[in-house]
Structures are given as structure tokens and as C-alpha cells.
A and B are shown apart, each in its own frame.
Chain A
């Protein structure tokens, strides 16, 4: 079955530290991959997406993600975290030709001063 796994439910980092959020997918073929962010009381905002081509994709708010086919991973990174980055981050995937987006469970990021 198609699935998206985010192994870390909660992550705490200090402001200014680097961040990496993990995401693994299980699909028959490489899906389209996304990272969304949800701030408290807000909807899901698209951070970045990978369809094909360059495996390092840049997104908004200084985030980037790297697609690694050999590891079935699409990890999200940011070199220096800001307090405003505290939110929940969702990795998501969709198979080509289909519409159903499958989400991971989400990783809640806490940023401490």
C-alpha cells in the first residue's frame, strides 16, 4: 500500500540551529512529493514540491528538500531555524495520474530561544 512515513512526531531545536525533518515514502513508482506547513489555527501551506529533475528543491521561507531515490526519502532542511518556524510539517505524496494526496502523520516543530 502507498504510504508516507514521518518517523519524528516531535522535534525541538534551538533558534538559529539547523533543522532536518525526515520523510520516507513507499510507492510502486516515484510519486510527486510535497512538504506542507500548518501553523496553529491555520490551513496547510505549500513549502515546496518535487516532480522530477534536480533532486534538491528550494521552497519558501528558506526551506529546501532533497529527494533521494535510493533511500525513498524526501527530507526537509533549513540551515537556521527562526522562532516563527514553530509549526507542524507534513510530508505528502501523490502518484502520477491520481489525485489522492497521501499525507504523513506530521512532525511538530518546537523552537526554543
Chain B
């Protein structure tokens, strides 16, 4: 069964450093998403991406964040200058041909900012 994969599973970084979180969505999916889950809190939507551009983003997704689909298989989330409060589990998701298709989630990347 196809699945969303994410690397790395755990990333530790120093405050102020840039990090790139990587995702490989399900191969025939067209919509891609990032969510985050701060420990003990809800899973929160960050951004959705379709046709090589952002289609929707939350107020959390400020100028420190960017997303990219650098090739036909990867989908990345970049945080330019990490802050302590960026420590969270980051989930990538993908869905099929229409925006309301079911979103399938990856296993997550745990980001720890020291």
C-alpha cells in the first residue's frame, strides 16, 4: 500500500539555524500539506500546496516558513531561522485529485530546537 514518507524522523537544531524537513507524498497525489503538533496540543494545519504554489496557509505559516516541490517526488518544509517554539512534530500529508480527497499522513518528523 502506498504511503507518505518523511525524513528525518528526528531533527535536533540550534535556535536560529535553518532546517529542511522532507516528505515524499504518495506518487499520484496532487495536493500536499504540512501540519504540526506541539507536544500536548492539537494537530494544526500549516499550509497546502497544489500545482506548484501555496493554495491555503494558516496564520502560523509566516515568513519564516516556506515550502517547495523541488522535483517530481519530494515536498519540503523549510524553517529559515528556528525558534524554541518551533519544536514540534511536523506531519506531511497528501491527497488525490480534488482538495477534499482524504489526506494521508506521514509518520512525522520530530523537530527539537535547543
Which residues on A are within 8 Å of B, measured CB to CB? 32, 34, 36, 42-46, 49, 51, 90, 92, 94, 96-106
Residues of B within 8 Å of A103, CB to CB, are: 42-44
10 intermolecular pairs with C-beta atoms under 8 Å apart: A36-B105, A42-B107, A43-B4, A43-B106, A99-B31, A99-B56, A100-B58, A101-B33, A101-B93, A103-B44
Given contacts A43-B107, A106-B43, 15 further A-B contacts (CB under 8 A): A34-B102, A44-B43, A46-B102, A51-B100, A98-B56, A98-B99, A99-B48, A99-B56, A99-B99, A100-B48, A100-B58, A101-B33, A101-B103, A103-B43, A105-B42
Residue interface bits B1-27, CB-to-A below 8 A is 1, else 0:
000101000000000000000000000
A97 to B106, CA, bound (A): 23
- Total residues of chain B contacting the partner, CB 8 A: 26
A44 to B35, CA, bound (A): 11
Most buried by B among A44, A98, A103, A106: A44
A68 to B105, CA, bound (A): 26
Residue B55 at the A interface, CB < 8 A?
A: yes
Residues of B within 8 Å of A45, CB to CB, are: 105
